[in-house]
Structure 1
Amino acid sequence: MKPARILTIAGSDCSGGAGLQADLKTIIMLGGYGMSAITAITAQNTTGVFAVEPLSPEMVAAQIDACIDDIGVDAVKIGMLGSAAITHIVADRLEKIAAPVVFDPVMIATSGGVLADAETVAAFDRMMALAALTTPNLPELAALGGEAKVRAKTRALLIKGGHGEGPVIEDRLIIDGGEFSFTSQRIDTNHTHGTGCTLASAIATGLGQGMAMDDAVRRAGEFVHAALLAAPGFGAGHGPLGHQAVRL
């Protein structure tokens, strides 16, 4: 059987911990075939984001077209978009395909670097409307206007609870017909760089493989938890996960 074809549309993290590098590692480890459309090049590591250079919207669109027109696509993961113009041209492309889209509304890197300006965040409304699932963390949910507003814009919502308090993390999946709660023990670690990217790309891989939404979210959470436990301990700040060590 051929692997599911997963396209990540995201920024590049030169240090390998987040962005499309984390996405591709995740897709491969979960048995998918990974492709990428780079939206922006960043100079970053575990301690911060030092430079961001978005690509032209036309170049982003050309990458998407090249992948879809030849290889095809079974699911799409969207991470850092880089600008409002890129957001709109990506939406133009994705509105024409039937594959499920998982939208991670990236605004701020784990290290604190800002990755989306106000104009780009405003354009996220269009992306949420076409996404099969939107996956904000608690600060992102607040920046997008709160749970009720986001629920009205997207078909399904996964509220990630990692920024909450307490020893147990709860992620809430809200879909038509119900709500699912996924809990895990909080891991005391600084090596959390790329957790959101990893989770979203793992969900997209599951959807591309034909999994139900709740099952895809459950497996993705298990993958992130295992990758956190397997973190190699690199860097002086928020280090990367151990994608390469995970066997589910």
Structure 2
Amino acid sequence: MKVMLSIAGSDSSGGAGIQADIKTAEAFGVFCATALTVLTAQNTTGVRSIMPVPPQFLDEQLAMVMEDLPVKAVKIGMLYSTELIRVVERFVKTLSIPVVLDPVFLSKAGSPLLQPEAVEAMRALFPYATVLTPNQHEAKALFGEPYHVKAPCPVIVKHFTTEKESHDTLFYPNGTKRTFASPKLETKNLHGSGCSFSSAIAANLALGKPLEEAIMRSKAFIYHAIFHAPALGHGPGPLGHKQGGLHVR
């Protein structure tokens, strides 16, 4: 069994963060180890409070996982603070495996998930990423314009939509790009879709898939996971990860 590592926060409602990453990896038949960055008190309507782990404890989690498990890919999600970003920066410098970096700024309910001063610190991770996965709002914050991305690594900007389709556009450092499309679903059940898309890419990279194939398989998974969402909660509901996985295995 292939192994991936998710470095991210915990979602107490189970729809996003580490919990979504584990469910997504399992949907592709990949084992998911974890290193927690923050605990959150949240549900589908928003985040009430955030408690970061001590940086040294994050470092110890990373060391213990890598000492014991044959990790084939890493997904990085919510990092929250400059101190935690610095720990992850030291870690990724040691890696020779794919790294998927999801620059998490906001929850689907609009709650901030990254301290403002940490945005610039996170840029230090870009050269070590196999792919960066911002949504269009995060891309605008990072690059000034989500349609004119410039980065030292490939960047796939999520959630462009037309009347009938959902588009994710992959920008390469050399200026070329490719768009991946799927039918647009009219639904509020999108909680954790960004986390799940990024972790799906990481799972497929762990399986040895090339980047563009990993993205195509991940986009198909997300479409079916949203389509089969269980409609839980009073806000944007979580996805149907298990049902999504049945369409891509």
**The TM-score by the shorter chain falls in which range?**
over 0.9
In 1, the alpha carbon distance for the partners of 2:225 and 2:12 equals: 19
Change (3 A) 1:180 1:112: same
Distance 1:90 1:150, change over 3 A: farther
* Alignment RMSD: 1.6
Matched, 1:124 2:88: no
Q: How has the CA–CA distance of structure 1 residues 148 and 12 changed in structure 2, closer, same or farther, with 3 Å as cutoff? A: closer
Distance in structure 2 (CA, Å) of the matches to 1:29 and 1:51: 29
- C-alpha contact 1:144 1:150 (8 A) present in aligned 2: no
Structure 2 portions without partners, runs of 5+: none
- Select 2:170's aligned residue among 169, 173, 187: 173
Runs of at least 5 residues in structure 1 that lack an aligned partner in the other structure: none
41-50 vs 116-125, which moves further? 116-125
Deviation at 1:185, TM superposition (A): 1.6
User: Displacement of 1:145 after TM fit?
Assistant: 2.3
Q: 1:35 aligns with which of 33, 36, 47?
A: 33
Moved over 6 A (4+): none
The residue correspondences of 1:44-193 to structure 2 (distance < 5 A) are 44-146=42-144, 151-162=149-160, 164-175=161-172, 178-193=176-191
**Counterpart position of 1:214:** 212
TM-score by length of 1: 0.94
The answer to whether structure 1 residue 235 and structure 2 residue 236 are counterparts is no
Cα distance, 1:147–1:131 mapped onto 2, change above 3 Å:
farther
For the pair 1:226 / 2:240, whether they are aligned, the reply is no
SS in 1 for 2:159: coil
Deviation per residue, 1:50-77 (Å, 9 max, x gap): 0001111111111111101111310000
In 2, Cα distance between the equivalents of 1:218 and 1:232? Answer: 24
Q: Distance in 2 between matches of 1:116 and 1:243?
A: 26
> SS at the partner of 2:71?
coil
- Shift, 1:166, TM fit: 2.8
Kindly indicate whether the alpha-carbon contact (under 8 Å) linking 2:10 and 2:36 is maintained by their aligned counterparts in 1: yes
Aligned-partner Cα distance in 1 for 2:2–2:94: 19
Amino acid at match of 1:169: S
Q: Percent identity?
A: 37
Q: Report the alpha carbon displacement of residue 165 of structure 1 after superposing the two structures with TM.
A: 4.8
Change (3 A) 1:132 1:4: same
Equivalent position amino acid for 1:60 in 2 = L
